Structure 1
Amino acid sequence: MAKLNTEKIKQDFPIFNQKINDETLVYLDNAATSQIPKFVEEKVRDFNEKERANVHRGVHALGLRATNQYESSRQKVANFIGANNAKEVIFTSGCTDSLNLVAASFGEQNIQAGDEILVSIMEHHSNLLPWQQLAKRKQAKLNFIEINSDGLLDIKNLKSKINSKTKIVALTHVSNVLGTINPIKELTDLAHEKGAIVVVDGAQAVGHFPIDVAELNVDFYAFSGHKMFAPTGIGVLYGKKDLLDKMQPYRLGGEMIANVTREGATWAEVPYKFEAGTPNIAGAIGLGAAIDYLQSLDFELIQKHEQELTSYALEKLKNVSGLTIYGPQKSNGRIGVISFNLKNIHPHDLATALDLNGIEVRAGHHCAQPLMASLNTESTVRASLSIYNTKDDIDKLVSSLHEAKEFFSEFR
């Protein structure tokens, strides 16, 4: 039976050629930022060494080559996420920037006093704060969808909250704390029945399983490159073209105009009216290369590997006495983002102890403080998996947790 060759894959990532605190690097902070393969680095370096120029502006050879690469990456993104038209793909600085764009443009134009915006309690702050502040500015009401005891979105609660006043439903595709995969197609259908548009934070989804925005029928979909093996500082906002055409840009400057006079201006067509100034050209080319890299692997094998590894991790972690896992307890319906706490050890202390063994995890509230409050905790340790992680990594994590328990017990 075919499997992902993790040993070969790990060789594609130069960062694993080092040690941390004289220990083999075990990188389990992929939900924050994934590592970058040599293939992507080389594509970015080639651009900077051979074709570096601004896009869309010059008619010289370098400018044309840079523009071709930049727009080729846009088409790759469109194909990768199932967009009907490459013009529906806007390059941004990341998922946060993408979500702010929707709130500042579509939201400002369409939300009125008395309207309602619906978000889930599991949202990252990036998909909460723009709507929270928009609601305050517009005197609209912000409502929350709760989760159940299994860490799943409470669909009954959603149905009780959504109504004809609901104009925007903003949801994460995958929780960055619980690993829960939300049923976006079902939720989108419910929202559209009430006349609401749907904005999805796909930061934790893209790169872990196939995304088809046309099939999901979402109105907007946002994600970052740095969580899917691309450089930092590059992201994407997908939007349905009919909505984008009606939206006003919220950043103004060069490249996003059709004509400027002393009296006013008209805007370029989408997507360019939302890409003011010199874009992150190298980042966009790197994102295209990351898509090429992912597509050189088998997505079915990626999903299978990550699900098997998640199942293995959940079972091993459950054998650590005093450890509480938050979110779904089985690998079905979730990805390998696993948040936990170990009794009587602060998450930051535990993360520091793991780092001494070369194991890199995240500790904190993970930019999801309302969710933390709902879980009756202030912070957690989070281990998040990717294509280069192995069962050996999980074994080292669990062994180090036992060591930490023994060490900290001496101080109680």
Structure 2
Amino acid sequence: MHFQTEALHAGYDKDNQSTMAVPIYMSTAYEFRDVEHAANLFALKELGNIYTRLNNPTTDVFEKRFAQLEGGEAAIATSSGMSAIFYAIANAAEAGDNIVCASQLYGGSLTLFSHTLKRFGIEARYFDVQSPQDAEKLIDDKTKVIFFETLTNPSIDVANIAAITEIADRHNVLTVVDNTVATPALCRPFEHGVDVVVHSASKYTTGQGLAIGGIMVERKDLVEKIRGNARYPHFNEPDTSYHGLVYVDVPLPVYTLRARLSLLRDLGAVSSPFNSWLFIQGLETLALRMKEHSHNALMLAQFLEKHPKVAKVNYPGLPSNSNYANAQRYFENGQASGLLSFEVAGFDQAKAIVDATKIFSLVVNIGDSKSIITHPASTTHQQLSDAELAACGVPAGLIRLSAGLENVNDLIADLSQALEA
């Protein structure tokens, strides 16, 4: 089926009430038929509902639908995008290991990798996403993951996905990519060799800023890369915390299975059934919205590129942009999503422009139906040093825009008056 059809139907077999809308199953627990049924569920001899920290019927539809839209095998929903990222890393790495990451990342990811994971004994090593060959120099026998974003936030770079995954496969290392900004409506990383995809569902998935959530998806046949791979012994040896289970021997998607039975079980960052239901509603219109977000962002970028007060515009849909070729290669019809950024003279001028807008809302979010403006150096990336800001492509005069679904002429007029204020 085509994307838009899957977005409306995938993963839902109508229950005994035959409801057209996916029901919200607001329940913490589920009754077992008898003791044997309960034992079979815990032993994975039967599949079914146990406890909402592990699975839930509404969340199950969201996971199945999202996995199908990404072209993956299975997914696991989490309580936030950050928990999805943490699970994707913690599922592969432990104390003494390292991960290789693009330096152009969302500020929260940079903080997680450079500070929080460091306290867990996991080292983060950084490469410039514009020079993917540099990642190979950082790989050693303790490297467990190469992490990057398909479309970086807020530097707005487009990764050469195939170049990175080729390096990772040569060294038998897992690749994890954050596809939040592009969404599966525009970019399908599994088609270019990625192993695991993560999202903040709080962004374009919900589409209206209604709920916090995340999701992690694994590609089809990922078990073949993990089975017998010396980098990942915990998938190939008995798990003493789960009856000696060997994950690669279970005929279920291996990466999400371990994340569910170990990480969700022990850490509990699970999606609320109500939030999962909201994400399902968002998926139904995702492809339609991404076309409009992309169109509005391109019109704003073309306007800003000609403005005398704008030193630089970062948007891959512009032929003048250094990421244009990658956007044409990896994104559906070259559509480059709704996120763009531009640079002005410095901190004070950026602050004045942000404060002068009337339609754009000053919010630290993206992917909303309403347009958003952000000054990353004073908000999302405030915790970074000047050197770290420069390394991840966030100078003090950078302004990030999330183009919403308003009439684009009104958005241009708003930016025009703010730039002249």
> For each residue in 1:128-148, what CA deviation from the matched residue of structure 2 results, as whole angstroms up to 9, or x when unmatched?
33333477457665432125x
Matched, 1:362 2:369: no
Deviates more, 1:118-127 or 1:156-165: 156-165
Letter matched to residue 131 of structure 2: D
Counterpart secondary structure, 2:183:
coil
Letter aligned with residue 312 of structure 1: M
Give the 5 Å matches for 1:246-395: 270=258, 272-273=260-261, 274-276=263-265, 279-294=271-286, 297=288, 302-303=290-291, 305-327=292-314, 330-331=317-318, 332=324, 333=327, 334-343=336-345, 345-355=348-358, 360-365=372-377, 367-368=380-381, 369=384, 372-374=389-391, 375=393, 377-378=395-396, 380-386=398-404, 388-395=405-412
- State the alpha-carbon separation in 2 of the partners of residues 337 and 57 from structure 1: 45
Q: Is the aligned partner of 1:122 residue 2:104?
A: yes
- Does structure 1 conserve the Cα–Cα contact (< 8 Å) formed by 2:205 and 2:282? yes
Match of 2:366 in 1: none
Residue matched to 1:190: 167
Corresponding residue of 2:211:
232
AA aligned opposite 2:280: G
CA distance in 2, matches of 1:283, 1:237: 16
Please tell me whether residue 132 in structure 1 is matched to residue 149 in structure 2: no
Match of 1:27 in 2: none
Q: Sort the Cα spacing of 1:269 and 1:316 in 2 relative to 1 into closer, same or farther, 3 A.
A: closer
* CA distance 1:271–1:104, shift in 2 (3 Å): closer
Question: Partners in 1 of 2:119 and 2:345 — Cα distance?
Answer: 42
Alignment partner, residue 246 of structure 2: none
Matches within 5 A, 1:109-188: 111-112=96-97, 116-133=98-115, 136-137=118-119, 142-146=124-128, 153-162=130-139, 166-188=143-165
CA distance in 2: counterparts of 1:270 and 1:135, whole angstroms: 20
Distance 1:121 1:286 in 2: 32
**In structure 1, the residue corresponding to 2:396 is in which secondary structure?**
coil
Counterpart CA distance in 2 for 1:157 and 1:328 is 24
- List per-residue Cα deviations over 1:337-373 (Å, max 9, x = no partner): 2222333644233211114887741123363446632
After superposition, residues 81-92 of structure 1 pair within 5 angstroms as 81-84=70-73, 86=74, 89-92=75-78
Q: 1:291 to 1:139 in 2, by over 3 A?
A: closer
8 A Cα contact 1:168 1:196, kept in partner: yes
Separation of aligned partners in 2, 1:399 and 1:201: 33
- RMSD (Å), alpha carbons: 4.0
**Native 8 Å contact 1:166 1:194 kept in 2:** no
For this pair of structures, how many residues does the alignment match?
A: 325
Q: Match of 1:211?
A: 188
For residues 174 and 134 of structure 2, the distance between their equivalents in structure 1, rounded to whole angstroms, comes to 19
Q: Is the 8 A contact 1:188 1:216 kept in 2?
A: yes
| Contact map agreement 1:127 1:201 (CA 8 A) in 2 | no
Q: Which amino acid aligns with 1:401?
A: A
1:80 to 1:123, Cα distance in 2 relative to 1, 3 A: same
The Cα offsets for residues 45-85 of structure 1, whole Å up to 9 and x where unpaired, read as x73xxx533354577xxx99x9433322221111111112x
User: Which residue of the partner structure matches residue 408 of structure 1?
Assistant: none
Equivalents in 2 of 1:247, 1:223: separation in Å? Answer: 26
Q: Which position in structure 2 is the counterpart of 1:4?
A: none
Contact 2:314 2:342 in 1 (8 A): no
Counterpart of 1:309, as a letter, is N
Decide whether the 8 Å contact of 1:80 with 1:291 is kept in 2.
Answer: no
Structure 1 window deviating more from structure 2 (332-341 vs 220-229): it is: 332-341
Paired with 1:397 and 1:203, the residues of 2 have a C-alpha distance of 27
CA distance in 2: counterparts of 1:127 and 1:391, whole angstroms: 31
Shift in alpha-carbon separation, 1:200–1:126, aligned structure 2, 3 A: farther
Unaligned 5+ segments in structure 1 are: 1-41, 148-152, 250-256, 260-267, 405-412
Instruction: Say if 1:270 and 1:287 are closer, same or farther in 2 by CA, change over 3 A.
Output: farther
How far did residue 197 of structure 1 move? Answer: 1.5
Aligned sequence identity (%): 14
When normalised by structure 1's length, the TM-score is: 0.65
SS in 2 for 1:340: strand
Which stretches in structure 2 are left out of the alignment for 5+ residues?
1-19, 34-49, 236-240, 244-255, 319-323, 328-335, 362-370
Q: 2:114 & 2:165 partners in 1: Cα distance?
A: 21
**Are the equivalent residues in 2 in contact too, given 1:223–1:237 (CA < 8 A)?**
yes
- Tell me the distance in 2 between the aligned counterparts of 1:349 and 1:235: 34
The counterpart of 1:103, out of the listed 80, 89, 96, is 89
In the alignment, what sits opposite 1:71? 60
Aligned AA (1:348): K
The 1:95/1:190 distance shift into structure 2, 3 A limit, reads same
1:222 is aligned to: 198
Quickly say closer, same or farther: Cα 1:329–1:52, change in 2 above 3 A. Answer: closer
Give 1:175 shift: 0.9
> 1:343 is paired with a residue of what secondary structure?
coil
Do structure 1's residue 400 and structure 2's residue 379 form an aligned pair?
A: no
Cα–Cα, structure 1 residues 325 and 372, in superposed 2: closer, same or farther, change >3 Å?
farther
8 A Cα contact 1:198 1:219, kept in partner:
yes
Distance 1:74 1:357 in 2: 32
Counterpart CA distance in 1 for 2:316 and 2:242 is 53
What SS is found at the alignment partner of 1:107? coil
Displacement of 1:328: 5.0
**Residue 52 of structure 1 pairs with residue 31 of structure 2:** no
Structure 1 distance, partners of 2:81, 2:205, is 15
Pairwise CA distance, 1:208: 5.2
